[in-house]
Structure 1
Amino acid sequence: MSASFATVVSQSLSQLRQAKSPELPEFARSRVERFYTDRVAASWGGRHILRGVKPEANALMLQSNDYLAITRHPEIVEAQRQALSTAGNGMMMSAIFMQQDDEPIHVLERELAMAVRTEDAILCQSGYVANVGLVQSLAGERTPVYIDMLAHTSLWEGIKSAGAQSVPVFHNDPDYLERQILRHGPGVVMVDSVYSTNGSVCPLVEFADIANRHGCVFIVDESHSLGTHGLNGEGLVASLGLNDRVHFITASLAKAYCARAGLIACSRRFKQYFGFESLPAIFSSALLPHELAGIEAAHHVIVSEGWRRARLRHVTQRIRQGLTELGYPIGEGTEQIVALEVGSESAVMQVRDAFEAEGIFGAIFCAPATAKNRALLRLTLHAGLTDADVQHLIDAAARIRHHVNLEDWSATRRARRGLTKEAAPIVEVA
């Protein structure tokens, strides 16, 4: 960059910084102001709830969804580099126009479909797009959609997009699901295989039996089990042999696959229909060549390096056992997502600060990602954790346990009352 051009750019940026945005009309301004008064000032004490201290180089980072620790895998990085150098950004258009069977996107879709044991698959721009587009293309305004209270936000948004009737189902409660179906009639049943905030596992066999017995469409979101569960990372639906009773598998590939993409595993006949009915699919550009290359390379790593799943299971079991022995109320989950459900937003900030003082960085989940007054600190475990990392986490949790008011946590109070049903949804954006 020449000195004169740099000067012009600097002057332009200076002018931009001096620009003033127009005032919002009152109806919009009042909503913004409520955020700053009710949440930032009153609930967060003037701080930003998601801004803690800056991590040091040796901090233990438990915020990423990179469960298998492959974001920097050399095979994935090299595949993306080669794709960028040879294909650039490819054709900038909707995938609806890519109708040839030998298009790279369709070749990869068939490979992923084989892995999860379905006829075909659809790659979308994100898990959010996949879920919203799928529900919108399936349900009508009179269709009852039975959705677990802890299911991903994107599934709830799909119901809104379709104008369908949402029928919330108590978390992991097959009997309640069946009672609701008997009341409202056949519709769409939607669950997560592994739930995104507390790491609980859906009783998929029972849900599949009920959905099929009553003539319902059954959708399973495998965002947090695809790649991490099953002999080859095929997820829970395939590993449990449920493909003949699950109509659709969806997933955000921004978890174990470390890709900004979403997946719908489905029948070949539905795939053609989806392309002409799903508004998010029609009006979004297709995935780029280097994104497809990264997904394909990640898939090969996931299938071939099974030790990563074994390590993740070992780490998860050790940490969950250690935290449970220390009295942390994490019994609602079993998998690699550990929820420290504190309650109020101000209280969860204090717990976050205590862990960060020990060099451990989790992610705060609060409304709208959780129900009000059910804010939590989520610790996301991964295969890259060493034995020393595991011990450090457990030792740190032991040191701070008497300073974080465990007895007052909402999860502790609920466990004390023996409650197993969720009274309000905890959801996460996929």
Structure 2
Amino acid sequence: MNTTLPTAIVNAAEPAFLTERVERYYRERVRDTWDGGHIMRGRTPGRDALHLSSNDYLAVANHPSIVAAEIDSLLQHGNGAMMSGIFLFGEAPQLKLEAEFAAFMQAEGGVLCQSGYNANVGLLQAIANERTPVYVDMFAHMSLWEGIRSAGAQAVAFHHNDLDHLARQLHRHGPGVILVDSVYSTRGDVCPLREVAALAQQHGCVLVVDESHSLGTHGPQGAGLVVELGLTGLVHFRTASLAKAFAGRAGYIACSARFAEYFKFEANPAIFSSTLLPHEVAGLSATLKVIREEEWRRTRLHANARALRAGLDALGYNLNDSQTQIVGLEAGTERQTIALRDALEARGIFGSVFCAPATPKHRALMRLSVHAALDEVALARIVAACRDLREEVGFVDWASTRRRARDRVVALRDAA
């Protein structure tokens, strides 16, 4: 048998339209905006680095009981039967886990998907079409926007958390679907869910709440903000990525039992994706048990988040109304954000860069994801780093800093 490898690999020649599209990225972003570097690639973390880029808010990814459940499943079942979820029935473990999550979230039924992205895209395909106005918060997750596009529906954006603007749009366009995040993934601020639910009911709309960043971290036993606020009877669908607090790779839709059956045979991501692997199902089931029982993780997470927000607020940072474990430092332009990234990483603090299309243009930021494993020493180190780098990164000239100063002047004037 000839095992000689080719000396060179030649790709198929690209047509001009594709070459131009790829070249535009390297020209406009890499060369002209990032000065030949890359906004997502800074330093390599050292051994003493603090990692604030993970969505493992409750620090359960390496929990021994979860890891043991996954190992045991792999040894017993391997990767299982590779097939679409539409073929599952009876006592299939994935169906049992769907029921466990439904009970946890105080829902009648639910569906496990390959990811939170698939859950949102599939859900919009199943509930909207070209005749459906879909009201979407301008800061809602990109998967919700992609779901609107995939459904061929009419996107009707409303200003972030602006109830008056949403009401005006509803009066103009009529009944449809309202899409919001419970906790917004770039800024960490919270949707006014009670008021949005009231508007949805008043105007005959379907309400979809993405709980990716509140499921596990908020509500009784981590059941989410919708449960915490007593809104399960007003919210038609709750979706979540289980790659956040649940530290797995799957998505979930909480819904009625009747809709769950319908969804599995109507949404393309459900029909044309394989089931979760057995060890993923076992791991998520074990994670659900940990999250329900180990309340101290939520207590620690919220205490850590409060402490960090208070420390950064005292330094003058505009935290854009963050009330959660997500803390964004909005530097503004991508160049300014690279400077902030480098200054943080030089001090051993590693967060996540968020820029367009994840944020509006010129509102790029460094997201610091607080987690339950941080201690007081680590939190003090983060605050100290953010104190010391302010002059280095031109903090006083950031648009977000100036905006905070203006807002405070207005608030003081209104209070006078």
TM-score (normalised: structure 2): 0.96
- Render the CA deviation track for 1:213-249: whole Å, top value 9, x for unaligned: 1110000000000000012000000111100000000
Structure 1 equivalent of residue 242 of structure 2:
253
Tell me, yes or no, if the aligned pair for 1:79 and 1:297 is still in contact at 8 Å: yes
Question: Is the counterpart of residue 302 in structure 1 residue 294 in structure 2?
Answer: no
Q: Is 1:54 equivalent to 2:44 in the alignment?
A: yes
CA distance in 1, matches of 2:369, 2:398: 20
SS in 2 for 1:75: helix
Partner residue in 2 for 1:190 = 179
In the TM superposition, residue 99 of structure 1 has moved relative to its aligned partner by 2.4
CA contact (8 A) 1:363 1:379 kept: yes
Uncovered stretches (5+) of structure 2, i.e. residues with no partner: 409-416
Identical-residue share of aligned pairs (%)? 54
Confirm or deny that 1:394 pairs with 2:377: no
Give the aligned CA root-mean-square deviation in angstroms: 1.4
> Quick one: which amino acid aligns to residue 213 of structure 1?
Q
Q: Is residue 2:108 matched to residue 1:108?
A: no
SS in structure 2 at match of 1:403:
coil
- Give the aligned partner of residue 406 of structure 1: 395
Equivalence map 1:221-240=2 (5 Å): 221-240=210-229
| CA shift for structure 1 position 22 | 2.5
Contact 1:324 1:331 in 2 (8 A): no
Structure 1, gaps ≥5 residues long: 420-430
Map Cα deviations across residues 141-194 of structure 1 (whole Å, 9 max, x no partner). 010000111100000000000000001011111222111111100000010000
**What CA distance in whole angstroms lies between the structure 2 residues aligned with 1:374 and 1:206?**
27
Assess if the C-alpha contact under 8 Å between 2:316 and 2:401 holds in 1: no
Cross-structure match for 2:309? 320
Counterparts in 2 of 1:144-183, with a 5 A limit? Answer: 144-183=133-172
Equivalent of 1:93 in 73, 83, 88: 83
Pick from 32, 35, 38 the counterpart of residue 45 of structure 1. 35
Deviations 1:314-348 (A, max 9, x none): 10000000001011111421111111111111110
Deviates more, 1:50-59 or 1:400-409: 400-409
Mapped contact 1:80–1:293 kept (Cα < 8 A): yes
Aligned to 1:282: 271
Counterpart of 2:201 in structure 1 is 212
Q: Is the 8 A contact 1:222 1:251 kept in 2?
A: yes
Cα distance in 1, alignment partners of residues 265 and 27 from structure 2: 45
Q: Check if 1:200 corresponds to 2:189.
A: yes
Alpha-carbon distance in structure 2 between the residues aligned to 1:366 and 1:331 = 16
Aligned length: 408
2:220 and 2:227 in contact (8 A); partners too: no
Amino acid at match of 1:252: S
**Distance in 2 (alpha carbons) for counterparts of 1:274 and 1:167:** 24
Report the TM-score, using the length of structure 1 for normalisation. Answer: 0.93
Counterpart selection for 1:311 from 296, 300, 306: 300
What SS class does the counterpart of residue 216 from structure 2 fall into? coil
Output aligned runs, 1:124-139, within 5 Å.
Answer: 124-139=113-128
Distance in 1, Cα, partners of 2:139 & 2:320: 16
